[in-house]
Amino acid sequence: MKPKKSLGQNFLTDKKIAENIALSGDISKKDVVLEVGPGKGILTEFLIKYAKNVIAVEKDHELFLFLSEKFADEIKNGKLILISGDILNFDFATHKIKEGDYKLIANIPYNLTGLLFRLFLETGPRPKTIIFMVQKEVAERVIARDKKESVLSLSVKTYGTPKIVRRVSAGSFFPRPNVDSAVLAIENIKSPFKDKSGERKFFEILKAGFSSKRKKISSNLTSVAKKENISKAFTKLRLDTNTRAEDLSPETFLLLAKDL
């Protein structure tokens, strides 16, 4: 089977790394694991080994048929639920999955990284842990290795605690990608918002704050709030009006969203 470029397929070929990914999720026999795009099943094998059961969603029908044969016994005994379809259409209710009921572990197509973060962190039901193989640069941006935050890093940190588990060289995949990768874990996942309106307000403030990186955040926020309200909020939170968005924590943005 040839990898399909249209689906962003780069198959992991190193079994030691696959097992390391599974183990980094601290899986027990009580855990249900959701896997996005199992590919040829190199990671799936270890998820099945350590978890109570695995739900794997594969968009590529050829790979679905391959996996159906490869894991026929595991499917028969209920250890693996294999679904042919797009993860964006996954029905949590059908599988009786609720908030915090599962762990999400996957080697994902890199072009879907941002979309999958939004799907599982903002939309829900949220997993208790996410383990994603992503581009190394993306992982470093999420944890803000340079101490400078971004919309991506703050969005993730608002819901959980990210950390890089390990780096993975491009040579561990077929076909070989142009970049190195990293295993990114997001733990302690929960929503700080009481309702959807509060969540929408937070992201409105967050995106406005980063609308012009060269400008101070107090200037950027004038697109969504009155100057006098911004001044009051900054005084209340003891923020310097010359502060840039990249220097603020997710906690500070949450407080700004409440006050503006």
According to DSSP, the residues that pair with 54 across neighbouring strands are 33, 80
Helix axes 227-236, 250-259, angle to 10 degrees: 130
The dotted CATH code for 196-259 is 1.10.8.100
Angle in degrees, CA 76, 40, 86, rounded to 5: 80
- In this predicted structure, what is the pLDDT of residue 216? 95
Kindly list the domain boundaries of the chain, sorted by start residue: 5-187, 196-259
pLDDT at 36 over 80: yes
- The answer to whether 23 and 50 are in contact (CB under 8 A) is yes
Spell out the CATH class of 5-187.
Answer: alpha beta
Q: Name the average pLDDT for the chain.
A: 94
pLDDT digits (tens, 9 = 90+) for 157-187: 999 999 999 999 999 999 888 999 999 999 9
E-strand ranges in the chain read 11-12, 32-36, 53-58, 80-84, 103-107, 129-135, 161-168, 173-174, 181-187
The reported pTM is: 0.92
Q: Does residue 4 carry a pLDDT above 70?
A: no
Answer for the pair 35, 59: CB distance below 8 angstroms, yes or no: no
Q: Which amino acid is at 234?
A: F
| Percent of the chain surpassing pLDDT 70 | 97
pLDDT in tens, 209-254: 999 988 999 999 999 999 999 999 999 999 998 999 999 999 999 9
Bigger pLDDT: 1 vs 38 = 38
pLDDT at 49: 97
State the pLDDT at residue 225.
95
Specify the pLDDT at position 213: 80
